[in-house]
Structure 1
């Protein structure tokens, strides 16, 4: 009996690879680091991520902005939107990219919420939406056209947002071949994915956009 259990355990473990780390640097067209780029690693082998992507996120509307400007979540995640401005806002969600310019393509695939302005001394009004499909979602406001944010819904738990230095550290990726993809809100035409070999030795990769992202309003 013990031998059978040991055999089953070894068979199970053999289907999972050892893990390694990958540091991905994202640059713009001019070679400068890009913040808020989404790095997605798709390993060929099975493995256990260091942590699952969040299934709950809070996005504030404040000073005519979505904060955070970009959120990364897993499929099925629920987002809570809070209006901290004293005036009314909408939250309009639709597929990001070229589809956002095509009303017919976006029809029926998004959502719309309305949030009253925050009263003095009271909590901001809130509403929720669920992201059931993988992909990038553009957030906007019907009243204030300059407001823009994004939610990236990923099926891969190895999905990380770059920091101000343009770097995303993706940890505990199964050893072996992997595909590395990058998404950025201003990169409307996808750049070519890279192939990487993950091993116990930490790896590095550099991805370059074909655009210079617009400067975010502060």
Structure 2
């Protein structure tokens, strides 16, 4: 075997191993290169048969210490969500978002029935009693979801060559809460720790449901 052929085979082998690597560590930052917490990466796989199975899990958006827990809940389309109130005071949960307008009037404990989210998109949640309570439900097409930690880090476990499409979302995206940015999958192979920047809006002095909802229109 000639040296040139050996070099070609070695190059192809290394490329295949690189593309099939099991994980990639991403750093998500804002426009000032500061780590961005609570960013979501949504991954659509090339092989769709397995991921399209119905998700029968019951998801929970709790209310603890006058906050929604979790702050952001990612669920597949058609999923059911319970809204228990773990506080010792009553809350009045509602959303005006187009994907799922609903209202759970003043209550304690757990509502009688969970709520189904049939449309893709983002539901912004508020409380009619406590204006500073804001939460988000991100409804996706039964894809893989990863969320950045306080250091802006996401450990992407899907092999790069299995990814068909990828998107980045954050509730303070400067283009609006419903906007998700397309990620060029090729950029994920540029180095071992790719950095993805997103331009975001500064947090409100007093984060209120009304302010967030207006930005979503």
Q: Return the TM-score normalized by structure 2.
A: 0.69
Cα distance in structure 2, aligned partners of 1:53 and 1:161: 19
Confirm or deny that 1:214 pairs with 2:213: no
Match of 1:113 in 2: 104
When structure 1 is superposed on structure 2, of 181-190 and 72-81 the one drifting more is 181-190
Structure 2 residues without counterparts, runs of 5 or longer:
1-19, 208-217
| 1:195 maps to which of 163, 181, 184 | 184
Match of 1:46 in 2: 47
| 2:127 maps to which of 141, 145, 153 | 141
Structure 1 residues without counterparts, runs of 5 or longer:
1-17, 96-105, 118-123
Cα distance in structure 2, aligned partners of 1:60 and 1:46: 34
Cα distance in structure 1, aligned partners of 2:124 and 2:103: 12
- TM-aligned CA distance change 1:92 to 1:60, over 3 Å: same
Cα distance in structure 2, aligned partners of 1:53 and 1:193: 25
Note the alpha carbon deviations across 1:172-201, whole angstroms, 9 max, x for none.
346256433111111151464221149999
- TM-aligned CA distance change 1:72 to 1:86, over 3 Å: same
Q: How does 1:94-113 map to 2 (within 5 A)?
A: 94-95=96-97, 106=98, 109-113=100-104
Match of 2:79 in 1: 77
Confirm or deny that 1:26 pairs with 2:15: no
Cα distance in structure 2, aligned partners of 1:199 and 1:188: 23
Cα distance in structure 2, aligned partners of 1:134 and 1:94: 15
Match of 1:169 in 2: 155
| 2:111 maps to which of 103, 126, 130 | 126
Matched positions, count? 182
Quote the offset at 1:206 in angstroms. 2.3
- TM-aligned CA distance change 1:173 to 1:75, over 3 Å: farther
Which has the larger share of strand?
A: 1
Whose RCO is larger (CA < 8 A, sep 6+)? 1
Note the alpha carbon deviations across 1:130-163, whole angstroms, 9 max, x for none.
1111111111111221110011111142221111
Which has the larger share of helix?
A: 2
